[in-house]
Structure 1
């Protein structure tokens, strides 16, 4: 599994690769078993062209729906 530094580097690389990609609500890190993964939050399940891993770090996808500001 990936350690925190590997996951941070993978997150930065994936973020730069996904610039302008519609439907992404956020990119972060999550703990998985003995390490970390990159989590991509999507507005809808229509986006399925994301990689399964980046530089050996797993990518987890979560459909969270549209994110709107609270008033």
Structure 2
């Protein structure tokens, strides 16, 4: 896996690539047992199409989290 700086760079690129795309509820960084990876939260499994498995050598982890709304 990647170090934090590489994961940050990959996150920025992927966030830009996915900007404005329906079904993407978030792009972040997560730490695993052997380094960092980029995490993409999606509303539905069908939104996974076109999300890469890695960016700049950094693994991408996809989670289907449903719709995320602000609390109130």
Q: TM-score, normalised by structure 2?
A: 0.92
Question: Partners in 2 of 1:38 and 1:61 — Cα distance?
Answer: 8
Aligned-residue CA RMSD (Å): 0.8
Instruction: Name the one with the larger helix percent.
Output: 2
The gaps in structure 1 that reach 5 residues or longer are: none
2:45 partner SS: coil
Moved over 3 A (4+): none
2:47 partner SS: coil
What are the residue-to-residue correspondences of 1:35-46 with 2, within 5 Å? Answer: 35-46=35-46
Size of the alignment, in residue pairs? 71
The gaps in structure 2 that reach 5 residues or longer are: none
